[in-house]
DNA sequence: CGTGTGATTGACGCCTGTCAACGTCTGTGG
DNA sequence: CCACAGACGTTGACAGGCGTCAATCACACG
């Protein structure tokens, strides 16, 4: 069952009941398993997706096919709207990393809603502006911080986005390579630095699961004040 | 004299005559000299600005006060709209690097236009989406390319944005430090790499003026295909 | 002429990417 | 049940790109 349009805090909260009805007839929702590609960089996409559950990674493919993860999408997020509204080709690829249930929203409907509902368009604009602010901040970080600082910062960002469970374990599990592709470094560097963080009693490692021991220490390592 | 709202290709092209009249009474336009700060990172800004002439650099302040230049604004560009629409504090500082003539647009008027004119809001949304795409691309570049590749790429980006004059000179002059603050490196590295580019017959250096000799060679150096 | 900003060059060393080898675990097929 | 392949994780060796520090030069300006 799709709850894209009923959740009160998401991007669709200012739609009228009729508009709600227009965007998510159940036939447009579907399950996607880990590894599924939702859309591909460089392709034209006909609509966007609302995430009901699961986690999607959004990345660009750079030199030698190396992934650069830009962000993750989770419950309540909307993906692909940028390309739909700008009319450009997709500038990223979206790939499922935790089994997901997504609702498809055709591009023309999204555009129609944008033009007809000023509150909705303002919400979407604010979302884009917020993402723009985050992107600018990340440019500054990548350009100025060391790999060590960035890795610590990425762990803290992941904590804010996906939270810790009752045992202080990060609620998203990523491969070492995926971590490297967020930070923008080599897999081996991530492995070595995670070991150092462990030696420094900042985290514990249990396979891919990461337990947070010392958040102030991580902030200090990340050079955040 | 202000031509913000009359220029046919800019963001205001879809405003009605009455709307045009509302945004730029001449009293709201002013000259700013090199070094003037238009708005400051972390401050609340009450409106945005339309650039009639001149060049503005938009940057974030990172570790130890080091500038990270995000982009430049020139004739026809609009700056500060992100913070006005998202209601957040300014996430960047805007500083004049070539004497400029700017028109001020109060935030409430911009928001009113956004809500009342669907074509205008779509144009603004597309602008934000385009900037978002560029930001994502730059994240990938900074994370994956060497300083040498990025410097070559930045020169090519500057060429696309500010063009070459008839003698193949880049029509924007920046200090070595400013170049470093775009690329995200040390000033000394920029100096050394520019010398190397000169040795490689890719460019000529005449003080701060840069003459382009071999654009395909620069593309190759930048790892662009 | 002193001052300040920017440009340049050299020395030095560490961070970090690359390459290679090996270990671990899972799933598959014989 | 075992062998094997493949994905992922780990560790070590090594080189070099690039940041930092310091000294010097060029040039403009009051």
pLDDT > 80? residue A150 = yes
And the tokens for B61? Answer: 């302040």
And the tokens for B68? Answer: 């990270």
- For the segment A138-147, what is each residue's pLDDT rounded down to a tens digit? 999 999 999 9
**Best of A140, A180, A222 to disrupt the B interface by mutation (most B CBs within 10 Å)?**
A140
Say whether residue A78 is in contact with chain B using an 8 A CB cutoff.
Answer: no
Categorize the per-residue pLDDT at B64 as very low, low, confident or very high, splitting at 50, 70 and 90. confident
Q: Which nucleotide is nearest to B198 (CA to C1')?
A: C8
Categorize the per-residue pLDDT at B7 as very low, low, confident or very high, splitting at 50, 70 and 90. low
pLDDT > 80? residue B23 = no
- For the segment B118-153, what is each residue's pLDDT rounded down to a tens digit? 999 999 999 999 999 999 999 999 999 999 999 999
A98-132 b/e (C-beta count within 10 Å ≥ 16 → b): bebbbbbbebebbbebbeebbebbbbbbbbbbebb
CA of A177 to C1' of D28 (A): 52
Query: Scanning every residue of chain A, which has its alpha carbon at the shortest distance from the alpha carbon of B64?
Result: A144
C-beta separation of B137 from A142 below 8 A = no
Q: What is the pTM of this model?
A: 0.94
**Looking at residue B27, what is its pLDDT?**
60
Q: How many Å apart are CA B125 and CA A196, to the nearest integer?
A: 44
pLDDT > 60? residue B1 = no
How confident is the model over B86-91, as a mean pLDDT? 93
- For the segment A56-109, what is each residue's pLDDT rounded down to a tens digit? 999 999 888 899 999 999 999 999 999 999 999 999 999 999 999 999 999 999
Q: Which of B62, B114, B122 sits opposite A144 (nearest CB)?
A: B62
Q: How many Å apart are CA B174 and CA B43, to the nearest integer?
A: 26
What nucleotides of chain D have any atom within 7 angstroms of a protein Cβ?
A: 8-13, 17-22
Distance to chain A for B124, nearest Cα, Å: 8
pLDDT > 90? residue A9 = no
Categorize the per-residue pLDDT at A1 as very low, low, confident or very high, splitting at 50, 70 and 90. low
Torsion of CA B127, B131, B137, B140, to 10 degrees: -150
Q: Which nucleotide is nearest to B188 (CA to C1')?
A: C8
**Looking at residue B26, what is its pLDDT?**
56
**Looking at residue A116, what is its pLDDT?**
93
B140: left (phi over 0), alpha (psi -120 to 50) or beta: alpha
* Same fold? A17-141, A145-222: no
CATH architecture of A145-222: Orthogonal Bundle (1.10)
The answer to whether A140 contacts B223, with C-beta atoms less than 8 Å apart, is no
C-beta separation of A155 from A170 below 8 A = yes
Categorize the per-residue pLDDT at B24 as very low, low, confident or very high, splitting at 50, 70 and 90. low
CA atoms within 13 A on the CB side of A108: 0
**CATH ID of A17-141, from 2.40.40.20, 2.60.120.10, 3.40.30.10, 2.30.40.10:** 2.60.120.10
pLDDT > 60? residue A26 = no
Please report, for chain B, the start and end positions of each structural domain, with discontinuous segments joined by +. Answer: 17-141, 145-222
And the tokens for A109? Answer: 């409907």
pLDDT > 80? residue A8 = no
pLDDT > 60? residue B56 = yes
């Amino acid at each position: 069952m799709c709850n894209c349009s009923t959740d009160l805090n998401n991007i669709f909260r200012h739609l009228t009941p009729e508009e709600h009805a227009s965007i998510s007839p159940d036939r447009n929702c579907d399950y996607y398993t880990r590894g599924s590609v939702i859309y591909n960089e460089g392709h034209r996409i006909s609509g966007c997706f609302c995430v009901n559950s699961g986690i999607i990674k959004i990345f660009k493919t750079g030199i030698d096919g190396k992934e650069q993860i830009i962000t993750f999408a989770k419950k309540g997020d909307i993906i692909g709207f940028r390309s739909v509204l700008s009319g450009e080709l997709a500038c990223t690829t979206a790939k499922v990393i935790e089994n997901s249930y997504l609702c498809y929203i055709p591009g023309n409907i999204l555009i129609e809603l944008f033009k007809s509902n000023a509150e909705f368009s303002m919400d979407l604009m604010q979302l884009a502006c917020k993402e723009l602010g985050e992107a600018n901040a990340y440019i500054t970080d990548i350009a100025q911080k060391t790999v060590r600082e960035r890795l610590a910062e990425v762990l803290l960002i992941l904590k804010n986005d996906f939270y810790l469970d009752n045992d202080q374990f990060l609620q998203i599990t990523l491969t070492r390579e995926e971590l490297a592709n967020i930070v923008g470094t080599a897999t081996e560097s991530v492995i070595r630095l995670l070991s150092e963080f462990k030696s420094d009693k900042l985290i514990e490692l249990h396979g891919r699961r990461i337990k947070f021991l010392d958040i102030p220490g991580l902030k200090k390592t990340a050079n955040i004040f």
